[in-house]
Structure 1
Amino acid sequence: MQALRVAHDHGDVEGTLLHQALHGGLLRGGGTGVGRTLAPLACAVKPSHCSLGAAFRGRSSMNMNRRSWVKGAALVGSGFLSRIDRVAAAQKAPVLRDVLRAEATGASEKLFVPPRPGEEGPPAPATDDRLSLDWNKATVKRLKDTLASRDIQAFVVRDPLNIMYVTGYWHTTTERPQAAFMNKDDADPWFMYPGLDRDSVTTWWFGGGRMYFDFLHGEGAFPHEGKVQQGETVDLFRFMLEGIKDHKVQGTRIGIDGELYPAELAKAKDVLPGVEWVNVADTLMKMRWVKTPEELALWRRAYVYFDRAHGFARDYILTHGTDVTDYEVGQATTTWINDILYSELDLKNGAIHHGVASGIGIGCRVGPLTAFPHPNQPLFNRIGRNMALQVEGGAAIGGYGGENYRAYIIADGSGSFDPHMRKLWEVSQHTCDMQVDLSAEGRTCSDVAYEIHKYQVAQGVQKYIYHRPGHGEGVEGHQSPYISLGDHTMLRKNMCFSEEPGLYDPEHGCGFNWSDTVVVGSKSGYRMSRVPYTKEWCWLKL
């Protein structure tokens, strides 16, 4: 009360405890607590002012008579403030979802590239959340028909990516081996699988199988069945072969997605004598290279959300400028877009097989962090003027999607853009457009890389070249083939590639890398994203 008495004696509340409470950090940005709760009270004290700062400004703005002040002091002395603060403390703070949704103005989304007449893509987004079982069955038929032309009547796949691609059985990959086997005339796949995935594998597309408890598996040990024993360590490759033998093999040639080691081949001959093992990994990879319309539509659906994430990140940067770190931009954007994504996917309240392999991750890097293709330092740097900045990330729905990066320049304090950064940005941006134009079926990966690198050197930026312009895109992320001088693979329509002819300058702490999914077309490629590559989008004044 001493501070209040001083305020009364001098007719001034500046510097009092009451003023500190009302003008503290709680008033900044509409927080909770005494400051926010007392805002109406402050305006009532001085109705001609609409803020606490104006209501308690000093002698010239107080104009409170002695009776009004005494009444106010009596309220404070009676514990009025402490009671209000307890009420305020009991009020719930807004949840993070609502805070971030309030941040989303959608302003940058208005700049998205509109569809152009005659463009080959992107396709309309899928309405489903994953590829259907019918798609998997059609894919298996294509594989069986291809293998039959080589007199292969059965196949086994052990690579998790191939298992998922062929059967649609999405699962977490660990050290635990799994396999799927089918004869030409089998309607459903047979599996070898670990016990922890028994609910996943048996409820999607399942024609029987052989389960081991875990890795390493002890013979006869199945604790979930009450069988707890310290059995001999089971050779799981032989375990798989014995299961296939019991299932029966059609024909005398089995296609397998990889080379067998000599020790494995010896076991295979022992368990399945007379069977020839044929490596068909290349056949499966070439199938996965060329995406079907269903895969591309699902891919595009992921990019609808991906693009919105980029719009949110740009708006967040423009709103908060140099007050935030690149880390905050990435985390805020990731949380915001995944809340929307998962709210709109058909997750069936957490039911298995719904929302598989779906999610979006957004990162942001600024300043020196942009100068390294793969920085080993954390993406945690305060955004500043006269810096390079990159918004980056990956997105997928049902396993399908890819990368999407945009490279920014932030103006200096005078609103000017650094000439060196401008040069690197303009050259790298142009080579992105070159890659799209060159991505036509019939060219080779090497052709595309050659033209891009040739242009970079002609522009005098060879010192800043660190890597090839792009790589194939698939469920695993990086997929062959590669937009590289040494890869002479012929481009085929509906192949997908990243787009990253980046340039990096560690000496000056800046770099510019891009990415998107470029889909090979008939006359040229197209991008999955509608986020612009323009100066209007990428050159920012904060």
Structure 2
Amino acid sequence: MTASRRDFVRQIGLGLAASATATEALGALSLTSGREGSERLLVENPRHPTPAPVGTDRLPLAWYQGQSRRLREQARARGVDVILLQSDVNLVYFTGCFRGSGERTTWAMMPTREADTVYWFSPAIDRDLITSWWCTENEYYFCYPHAEGGFPNRGQLAKGGRVDLWAWVLGQLAAKGLGDATIGLDRELTPSAQRTFDRILPNAKVADVSDLCLRMQVIKTPEEIALTQRAYRYFDLVHCFARDFILEHGTRATDYQVGQALSQYGINLMMRDVRRDGRPHSAVGMEVTGHYVRTGVATAYPHPNQFFHAPLQKGQPVYVNCDILLGGYGGEGYRNYILRPSNSAHDRMWQVVADTVQMIVEETKPGAVCADIAYKVHAYQIKQGMQEFIYHRPGHGQGQNFVGHQPPFLALGDESVVEEGMTFSVEPGLYDEKNGIGINPSDRLVVLKDRSVLMSRIPFTKEWSFLDV
């Protein structure tokens, strides 16, 4: 590293409150300077999709409207008159309005014979968020639980008389003349919900369109892939920063400090480019997580439940586990480090994992069967004597908008056929509690016409992974 970059990493130091200025300055340096430090080890891949340009911080409204039109067309072919979306995942994907419902259920209705309309039924808390985005009309209840006639925001007070919100929204559909319509839902109704439906809309029919919603999300569009690739360009720099931080601070740092510093650095890095004015609908779907970074024996558990706050030590593994999202797109990016001296258990496990990462990349291509890929990975792990360290499948589909896991799965029980546009995690992880080590790198693998490519430029090499501190 040059003195300037090293100085910034050193200034970030071990006191998080004092590091804000340094991480912001380093974020600017990463965008304007040549490659320094760990950035010199990044590997360019000419097969990478072209990243979305700076200024494209989220997908445009036109993209969401286009996806909703595709859904309407497919649903109409099944005889559906209107689609009523309830899942937050689907609400964001098909409208572009980033929000979450919690217990305050929200619905969006899309008539299949109308191209660009969306009728919302929401809690009052989100009324401004919804009407300032794509909204033909919004009928709202006050809050959950909603009391009949209770709208304090209108000066109307009432208590008691709790409203069944499912009956309420069905009543809204009836009032719109949909009493004999075929209504496409993105969920299977429970028996009680079906009884309510039959009572409020006795002449209407239910059609399940959840498979259409999921299918569209599984096959990523070029615009989604481009925005994801841009997020991974930031991810590359975040991991370079984390590696440089470990090299600079070594055993003076804790895993917690590494995670907090990389998260702060990553957000500052992205926000240098993200256009926003403080109002809704800009700088949406963003995160750089660092709370899962861990060291030592904590790496030996695939789903640990303890808080991570342990010092880095020589001879121990460090797991830089984080996620990044920009406009709802990005995903997983994990890398494992061994702080020398290593031992034979470390070396052997690291090599088997590195081999199976490459195997997944080579085997995952259009026409391949997910179960076959998983079988080959597990067969190799077993052949190398690693069977007792296997805890999970070697990969899963990656979603969008805070959906980490999505079908299909690189798993023995999933016989789905790989298609162009799918994306997967790459996690042939192994975990050895006795020796206090787990290795589970991840990336995002995008399936192209005849192959797949990892979306990061971070190498799987010993030069990158084995560190002297």
Under a length normalisation based on structure 1, what TM-score does the superposition of the two structures give? 0.79
Does 2:105 align with 1:177?
Answer: yes
Deviation at residue 342 of structure 1 after TM alignment: 2.0
Query: Using the alignment, how far apart are the partners of 1:212 and 1:383 within structure 2?
Result: 52
Deviation at residue 516 of structure 1 after TM alignment: 0.6
Query: Using the alignment, how far apart are the partners of 1:365 and 1:293 within structure 2?
Result: 35
Q: 1:109 to 1:215 in 2, by over 3 A?
A: same
Structure number, greater radius of gyration: 1
Query: Using the alignment, how far apart are the partners of 1:461 and 1:283 within structure 2?
Result: 40
Matched-pair contact (CA < 8 Å) for 1:496–1:519: yes
Per-residue CA deviation, residues 298-333 of structure 1 (Å, 9 max, x unaligned), is: 111211111111000000000111111111111111
Per-residue CA deviation, residues 88-133 of structure 1 (Å, 9 max, x unaligned), is: xxxxx995322335677841112111123xx2x3332344111111
Query: Using the alignment, how far apart are the partners of 2:343 and 2:177 within structure 1?
Result: 70
Matched-pair contact (CA < 8 Å) for 2:72–2:113: no
Per-residue CA deviation, residues 234-270 of structure 1 (Å, 9 max, x unaligned), is: 0100110111222333973211111112222222222
| Structure 2, unaligned runs of 5 or more | 1-9, 31-35
2:320 pairs with one of 388, 391, 396: 391
Does 2:243 align with 1:314?
Answer: yes
**Partner-residue secondary structure (3-state), 2:356:** helix
The residue that corresponds to 2:233 in the other structure is 304
Q: 1:418 to 1:165 in 2, by over 3 A?
A: same
Does 2:140 align with 1:211?
Answer: yes
**Which amino acid in structure 2 is aligned with residue 96 of structure 1?**
S
Q: 1:228 to 1:488 in 2, by over 3 A?
A: same
Query: Using the alignment, how far apart are the partners of 1:101 and 1:163 within structure 2?
Result: 34
The residue that corresponds to 1:97 in the other structure is 20
1:497 pairs with one of 407, 424, 441: 424
**Which amino acid in structure 1 is aligned with residue 92 of structure 2?**
M
Does 2:353 align with 1:428?
Answer: yes
**Which amino acid in structure 1 is aligned with residue 349 of structure 2?**
L
**Partner-residue secondary structure (3-state), 1:477:** coil
The residue that corresponds to 1:527 in the other structure is 454
Query: Using the alignment, how far apart are the partners of 1:343 and 1:155 within structure 2?
Result: 39
Does 2:309 align with 1:380?
Answer: yes
**Which amino acid in structure 2 is aligned with residue 431 of structure 1?**
T
Query: Using the alignment, how far apart are the partners of 1:346 and 1:533 within structure 2?
Result: 34
The residue that corresponds to 1:13 in the other structure is none
Query: Using the alignment, how far apart are the partners of 1:191 and 1:315 within structure 2?
Result: 48
Q: 1:474 to 1:108 in 2, by over 3 A?
A: same
Per-residue CA deviation, residues 348-390 of structure 1 (Å, 9 max, x unaligned), is: 1x11111111121124211111111111111111111111111
Deviation at residue 469 of structure 1 after TM alignment: 0.4
1:165 pairs with one of 93, 98, 119: 93
Query: Using the alignment, how far apart are the partners of 2:24 and 2:331 within structure 1?
Result: 25
Q: 1:470 to 1:237 in 2, by over 3 A?
A: same
**Partner-residue secondary structure (3-state), 1:227:** coil
Does 2:40 align with 1:110?
Answer: yes
Does 2:404 align with 1:477?
Answer: yes
Q: 1:144 to 1:457 in 2, by over 3 A?
A: same
Per-residue CA deviation, residues 271-304 of structure 1 (Å, 9 max, x unaligned), is: 2232110111111111110000111111112111
The residue that corresponds to 1:145 in the other structure is 73
**Which amino acid in structure 2 is aligned with residue 314 of structure 1?**
R
**Partner-residue secondary structure (3-state), 2:398:** strand
Matched-pair contact (CA < 8 Å) for 2:255–2:310: yes
Query: Using the alignment, how far apart are the partners of 2:417 and 2:350 within structure 1?
Result: 30
Does 2:289 align with 1:361?
Answer: yes
**Which amino acid in structure 2 is aligned with residue 134 of structure 1?**
A
Query: Using the alignment, how far apart are the partners of 1:507 and 1:473 within structure 2?
Result: 31
Does 2:346 align with 1:346?
Answer: no
Per-residue CA deviation, residues 447-475 of structure 1 (Å, 9 max, x unaligned), is: 11011001111111111111100111112
Aligned residues: 444
Query: Using the alignment, how far apart are the partners of 2:393 and 2:453 within structure 1?
Result: 19
Matched-pair contact (CA < 8 Å) for 1:439–1:519: no
Per-residue CA deviation, residues 152-192 of structure 1 (Å, 9 max, x unaligned), is: 22111111100111111111331110111111223311111
**Which amino acid in structure 2 is aligned with residue 328 of structure 1?**
Q
Query: Using the alignment, how far apart are the partners of 2:222 and 2:286 within structure 1?
Result: 19
RMSD of equivalent CA atoms: 1.9
Q: 1:423 to 1:333 in 2, by over 3 A?
A: same
Query: Using the alignment, how far apart are the partners of 1:305 and 1:392 within structure 2?
Result: 15
The residue that corresponds to 1:370 in the other structure is 299
